[in-house]
């Protein structure tokens, strides 16, 4: 109560009026469609917005480029994840990289990094093409036996299966067989996992999460490990199945390394890097097991949902779909004339419209929505745009006391009009091809200076992997198929379930949905 009511420097920062003492403005932020509330706050109050969390506590929603650069990069380890949010990471992926902070994070990340360089990501291109080709084969079989060779596929179901297969093989040399319907138990429990556990959070769930910050960590862990609510039960099941498989895989990889038969999947590289570390810095077996769950969590639904959002845009802009296909086909022709059955990374890099579309996809539909950071020391946030306080004072930087809690809005940063142009709220890949449409701005994210993959010391370790994977799937599927909207396209909702998932208004219980009509793309000229 003292903390909530004492005067602070944040009192005069503009922001919306609290809706209730119990939830503040959290309902608007967390229960509305992903991004919707923050876009309207950004328009009204700017890139730093003070809002209320539960019990009258202040919180800052931040999308200001310089402030983000400071929190994520310059001052990275002085801004930590919230304790209760770390607890969600523990539940979904154990005490691995997504959970760790400070020195533990530094140590874990060092061992993980060798698996995620540019050459490693590029080496996976043939594997991604092969996973995409499995969808093509399955879809072709279905289309051949369908009326007019046309069928409505629920796109996220397929992108989720194919990206699960891709991460399984690339990260662990493990075959989920999800696209081919040979699903094993691990594959099944990971489908729609985030939506089941975190989709449409109730008011009770949001308040409970806020209350967890006041409890000692062992107590929250105990409660969550024994709570029989359906949402938590589904997570407990994933944990049990995933830990069993991960334990076996770590053992297999360690034995293979001893026999000098190590492979090139990420987990083998991780086990190898770990063996080469000095014993104090080495990851324990439990930590190695957690990293596998981290990769499954961070590397699967992120890419799957990004891909689904791309097809959502391509059926709303058929001209773009056509132009992209033409670019892909022309490049495939050149590769075939060279005698290459498949495109290389260089071919992908030589396709300007594909590159621009992937950038725009990741700008406009950043599937990770928020990051939560609390100041571990008093700090001063630099600002790109000064704040005019409610008392009329102009602040060019914002002093924040230790304990200040911020919510970083990835969608709001990615719609910054100063950086991305006045049309930032429109999906327009061509902005990336026009000189001076996108401004340089302060350096932030590793890809196209977007916030989509975060930035700095905790930036997404798998971003290269994700970009190449997205390109491979787009090339394969667009080259072979045409996509068209169905009447449900106008009811698609950007559901916030830790990641942004397409669902249909009023049909949340059916899980992730984006039904699109698929036909064979005509061969030859476009």
- Is residue 137 within 8 Å of 165, Cβ to Cβ? no
460 labelled as ligand-binding?
yes
Describe the strand order of the beta sheet including 150-154 as a list of residue ranges.
Answer: 150-154, 515-520, 481-484
464 or 485, CB closer to ligand HEM? 464
Residue whose CB is nearest to ligand HEM in the complex, by number: 462
3-state secondary structure at position 499: strand
Long-range contacts of 277-285 (CB under 8 A, 24+ apart): 277/110, 277/111, 281/107, 281/110, 281/111, 282/111, 283/107, 283/108, 283/111, 285/247, 285/250
Q: Tell me whether residue 364 is exposed, middle or buried, using C-beta atoms within 10 angstroms of its C-beta: 0 to 12, 13 to 18, 19 or more.
A: buried
Q: What is the distance between the alpha carbons of residues 58 and 317, in angstroms, rounded to a whole number?
A: 42
Query: What does DSSP say about strands 405-409 and 58-62: parallel, antiparallel, or unpaired?
Result: parallel
- Is residue 415 within 8 Å of 39, Cβ to Cβ? yes
164 or 521, CB closer to ligand HEM? 164
Q: Taking the complex as a whole, how short is the minimal distance between the CB of residue 526 and ligand HEM, in angstroms?
A: 28
189 or 371, CB closer to ligand HEM? 371
Element holding 288 (H helix, E strand): helix 285-316
13 or 86, CB closer to ligand HEM? 86
Q: Taking the complex as a whole, how short is the minimal distance between the CB of residue 53 and ligand HEM, in angstroms?
A: 18
27 or 366, CB closer to ligand HEM? 366
Q: Taking the complex as a whole, how short is the minimal distance between the CB of residue 292 and ligand HEM, in angstroms?
A: 11
Q: 501: which 2 tokens?
A: 């998932």
Binding site for ligand HEM (CB under 6 A): 97-98, 109, 294-295, 298-299, 302-303, 306, 366-368, 371, 452-454, 458, 460-462, 465-466
Q: Which residues contact 346 (CB under 8 A, 6 or more apart)?
A: none
Q: What is the distance between the alpha carbons of residues 133 and 51, in angstroms, rounded to a whole number?
A: 47
Return the axis-axis angle of helices 463-480 and 125-144, rounded to nearest 10°.
Answer: 30
Dihedral sign for Cα atoms in the order 167, 172, 177, 178: negative
Q: Taking the complex as a whole, how short is the minimal distance between the CB of residue 249 and ligand HEM, in angstroms?
A: 15
Q: Taking the complex as a whole, how short is the minimal distance between the CB of residue 501 and ligand HEM, in angstroms?
A: 13
Vertex 397, ends 391 and 398: CA angle to 5°? 65
45 or 129, CB closer to ligand HEM? 129
Q: Taking the complex as a whole, how short is the minimal distance between the CB of residue 450 and ligand HEM, in angstroms?
A: 9
Q: What is the distance between the alpha carbons of residues 207 and 220, in angstroms, rounded to a whole number?
A: 14
Q: Taking the complex as a whole, how short is the minimal distance between the CB of residue 247 and ligand HEM, in angstroms?
A: 19
Q: Taking the complex as a whole, how short is the minimal distance between the CB of residue 274 and ligand HEM, in angstroms?
A: 15
Q: What is the distance between the alpha carbons of residues 487 and 282, in angstroms, rounded to a whole number?
A: 54
Residues of each annotated binding site for heme: 460
Residues of each annotated binding site: 460
């Amino acid at each position: 109560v003292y903390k909530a009511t004492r005067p602070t420097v944040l009192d005069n920062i503009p922001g919306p009026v609290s809706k209730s003492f119990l939830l503040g403005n959290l309902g608007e932020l967390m229960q509305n469609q992903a991004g919707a509330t923050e876009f309207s706050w950004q328009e009204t109050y700017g890139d730093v917005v003070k809002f209320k969390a539960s019990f009258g506590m202040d919180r800052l929603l931040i999308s200001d480029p310089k402030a983000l650069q400071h929190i994520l990069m310059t001052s990275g380890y002085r801004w930590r994840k919230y304790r209760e949010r770390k607890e969600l990471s523990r539940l979904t992926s154990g005490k691995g990289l997504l959970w760790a902070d400070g020195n533990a994070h530094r140590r874990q990340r060092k061992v993980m990094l060798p698996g995620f360089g540019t050459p490693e990501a590029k080496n996976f291109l043939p594997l991604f093409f092969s996973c995409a080709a499995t969808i093509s084969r399955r879809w072709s079989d279905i289309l051949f036996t369908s009326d007019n060779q046309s069928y409505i596929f629920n796109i996220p179901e397929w992108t989720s299966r194919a990206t699960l297969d891709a991460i399984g093989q690339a990260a662990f040399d493990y075959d989920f067989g999800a696209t081919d319907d040979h699903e094993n138990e691990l594959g099944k429990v990971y489908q729609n996992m985030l939506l089941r556990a975190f989709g449409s959070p109730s008011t009770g769930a949001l308040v409970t999460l806020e209350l967890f910050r006041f409890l000692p960590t062992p107590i929250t862990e105990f409660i969550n490990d024994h709570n029989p609510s359906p949402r938590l039960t589904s997570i407990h099941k994933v944990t049990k199945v995933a830990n069993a498989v991960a334990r076996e895989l770590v053992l297999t990889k360690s034995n293979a390394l001893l026999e000098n038969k190590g492979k090139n999947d990420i987990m083998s590289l991780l086990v190898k890097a770990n063996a080469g570390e000095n014993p104090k810095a080495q990851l324990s077996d439990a930590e190695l097991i957690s990293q596998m769950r981290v990769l499954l969590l961070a590397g699967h639904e992120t890419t799957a949902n990004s891909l689904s959002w791309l097809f959502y845009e391509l059926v709303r802009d058929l001209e773009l779909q056509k132009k992209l296909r033409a670019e892909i086909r022309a490049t495939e022709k050149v590769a075939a004339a060279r005698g290459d059955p498949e495109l290389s990374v260089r071919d992908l890099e030589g396709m300007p419209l594909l590159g621009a579309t992937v950038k725009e996809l990741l700008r406009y539909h950043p599937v990770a929505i928020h990051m939560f950071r609390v100041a571990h020391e008093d700090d001063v946030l630099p600002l790109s745009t000064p704040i005019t306080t409610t008392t009329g004072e102009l602040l060019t930087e914002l002093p924040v006391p230790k304990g200040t809690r911020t919510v970083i809005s990835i969608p709001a940063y990615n719609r910054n009009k100063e950086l991305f142009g006045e049309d930032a709220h429109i999906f327009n890949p061509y902005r990336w091809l026009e000189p001076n449409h996108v401004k340089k701005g302060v350096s932030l994210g590793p890809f196209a200076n977007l916030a989509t993959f975060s930035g700095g010391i905790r930036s997404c370790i798998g971003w290269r992997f994700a970009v190449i994977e997205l390109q491979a799937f787009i090339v394969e599927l667009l080259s072979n198929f045409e996509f068209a909207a169905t009447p449900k396209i106008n009811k698609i909702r950007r559901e916030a379930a830790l990641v942004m998932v397409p669902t249909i208004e009023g049909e949340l219980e059916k899980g992730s949905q984006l039904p699109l009509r698929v036909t064979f793309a005509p061969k030859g000229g476009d």
